[in-house]
Chain A
Amino acid sequence: MTDASTSTPPRRMRLNFHVFGPLLAMVAVMVIGASLNLSFLSPENLTNVAARSAFIGIIAVGMTFVITAGGIDLSVGAMAAFVAGVMIMVMNALVPVMGAGVPLIMVGMATALLVGGAAGMLNGVLIAKVRIEAFIVTLGSMGIYRSLVTWLADGGTLSLDFTLRGVYRPVYYEGILGLSWPIIVFAIVAILGELAMRHTAYGRHCAAIGANEQVAVYSAVKVARVRMATYVVLGMLVGLATIMYVPRLGSASGNTGVLWELEAIAAVIIGGTVLKGGFGRVWGTVIGVLILSLIGNILNLASIVSPYLNGAIQGVIVILAVVLQRESKSAD
């Protein structure tokens, strides 16, 4: 044991750097943030950032599995808006029947999970069974869901019934031990995702399909079923994210969730998952999501550059984070 570890110290160091690349990037971002503005490290600010990361984060965990299995889902942002719209309409419609109380919120939550799961199932069937390119299927469903929510809202905004907002509001704004519910749910989803990716047959099958589909077929992996499951789970996670999102502002419109899909995909890649599939890292995705949110937060807190350049800075850091990993990977 001791011999082995002392004989290969350089390799181990490189390996560590490769593994912890995203983590180091996040620490670097946090150091920069703290040096620019003292209130950056205040618990209030950090919980704000964690809570606003939760929507994209929950979705990005599901996206990690989809991408690991060699797929992609561009429809999640539009799907979130659509699920939010349907959820709000169902809840508003049931207020006279059920009254504004916890049972109605439960019905709303179940609706979100069901609609999300069904939407994911639709993507999954077209991709895994009908065998259409994931990019095309989800590009199409992105347009469909985005139009549907605009149509449902009649071009305006769907707002949650005012009496319900008070009942539902704590789901975003309150929690236990100073951690709000979105943070707790995000953490649970991330931990379960990490366990599923590392320690279950499902996680290994996803990686096998993404690495080489033919080999996976010959290894008796039920490719279509696993692939479909990744989209259904992602759809349900979109539903879960929506459950956390709706109580924040109590509304949905055609503008909800715009570009969430790209943020989620970027977070997955920053976290070290390979875009063409075969290898996925859920905890890396979590770090990726946090890095993206922290950058936005720091730019708001510091206002060192013209706000016109915020997008450029985000872009540079995203590319840098990935370049960093590529280099350490080739060094392996």
Chain B
Amino acid sequence: MNRRDIFKGAALVAGLAGATVAQAQDETFTIGVAIPSATHGFMGGLNFHARDTIERLEATYDNIEFVLATAGDAAKMVNDIEDMVATRGIDALVVLPFESEPLTSPVQAVAEQGIWVTVVDRGLSVEGIEDLYVAGDNPGFGRMAGEYFVENLEDGDNIVVLRGIPTTLDNERVEAFSAAIEGSGINVLDMQHGNWNRDDAFTVMQDFLSRFDDIDAVWASDDDMAIGVLAAIEQAEREDEMWVMGGAGMKEIIGRIRDGDPQLPANVSYPPAQISTAIELTALGLVSDTPVSGRFIIGSQLITPENAEQFYFEDSPF
């Protein structure tokens, strides 16, 4: 009898254990990550860090799965998100909106289904949709660059500015930059769009160089554009006349700052690894009781030869 009872008990335990295992499987979370495809340096870095983080988290947590989708335009990103919700039943969405306007209502629809939404870098057009917002500090990016110009130039010095693709993000940076140099006597000769593109920046800078005889510094506002600008300056053999400040912390540029290149005295960080912050926090919020809702703004930092080493990531493509 006893023996039988023991067996019964064992069967019961086994049954219970089976039930808990099944329950644990129900507790598997799926996180959808939708980001723009790697069309330029910064997005390449962002894609690298996204994949890197997903790999690490999948190894860390057995019960989290990821769906990563990269999109070349806003319409595809909307499709990706709809597919994630419909076919993969995601529990959380981490999205870097390709453009704010077209992504707003699709992401809102996702949030209304009770799915956790983390928005990265570019805000949506309607406030309060996302549970968590992670972004770099765009006004800080412009202000910090502007302050460096004010400190290192004199009253009456001339600068030219290359802007990115016309977007809210670019406007915020340029407005903060302009506000920071206001009243310093620094003369902005012209601002033109180089579209965060090396070739466009090269062309724009060539034309600035033919047009202006006296340029003391260039705010290229992005490291891809800084590469184009430097090539144009080299062609015109005016390297000694002006210095260049890019932005976002591309590997090659950070390397040159670290090595004390006089043409590249400083840079302002705008880390593509912010996607890692977003994914990590989202995962943490799902698996634990850690509160992660709200806004997480990653401050921009001034990179100079002294601290350049800590911003240099050997493996990243950016």
Classify the secondary structure of B's interface with A. helix
Complex: A42 Cα to B210 Cα, angstroms: 8
Residues B44 and A248 in contact, CB atoms below 8 Å apart: no
Complex contacts, B318 vs chain A, CB 8 Å: 156
Name, among B47, B191, B198, B318, the residue most crowded by chain A CB atoms within 10 Å (CB to CB): B198
Contact between A254 and B40, CB atoms less than 8 A apart: yes
Q: What mask results when residues 143 to 162 of chain A are scored 1 for a CB within 8 Å of chain B, else 0?
A: 00000001001111101000
Quick check: A157 and B192 within 8 Å, CB to CB?
no
Give every chain B residue within 8 A of A308 (Cβ-Cβ): 166, 193
Contact stretch, chosen from A11-19, A58-66, A273-281, A296-304? A296-304
Q: Which residue of the partner chain, among A157, A173, A301, A307, contacts B210 with CB atoms under 8 Å?
A: A301
Residues of A within 8 A of B204 (CB): 300
Chain A positions 79 through 94: 1 when the CB is less than 8 Å from some CB of chain B, otherwise 0: 0000000000000000
Interface flag for A212 (CB, 8 Å): no
Q: Indicate if the CB atoms of A307 and B317 lie closer than 8 Å.
A: no
A173 to chain B: which residues have CB within 8 Å?
Answer: 235
The tally of residues in A whose CB lies under 8 Å from a CB in B reads 31
Bound-state Cα–Cα, A300 to B48, Å: 35
The answer to whether the Cβ of B37 comes within 8 Å of any Cβ in the partner chain is: yes
Contact partner of B207 (CB less than 8 A), chosen from A254, A297, A310, is A297
Within 8 A of B (CB), among A286-322: 296-297, 300-301, 303, 307-308, 310
User: Does A256 make an interface contact (CB < 8 A)?
Assistant: yes
Alpha-carbon gap, A255 to B316, bound state (A): 18
Given contacts A154-B44, A159-B252, A300-B192, contact A248 B202 (CB under 8 A): yes
| Residues in A whose Cβ lies below 8 Å from that of B37 | 150, 155, 254
Contact partner of B41 (CB less than 8 A), chosen from A44, A157, A248, A303, is A157
CA A155 to CA B48, docked complex, whole Å: 8
Say yes or no: is A249 at the interface (Cβ < 8 Å to chain B).
yes
Q: Are B193 and A307 in contact (CB under 8 A)?
A: yes
* Contact call A155/B210, Cβ cutoff below 8 A: no
Is the pair B208, A300 in contact by a Cβ cutoff of 8 Å? Answer: yes
Q: CA of A153 to CA of B44 in the docked complex: distance in angstroms?
A: 9
Question: How far does the Cβ of B276 sit from chain A's closest Cβ, in whole Å?
Answer: 15
Query: Does A253 interact with chain B (Cβ within 8 Å)?
Result: yes
A153 to B318, CA, bound (A): 10
In order of increasing CB-CB distance, the 4 nearest A-B pairs are: A156-B317, A155-B38, A155-B44, A300-B207
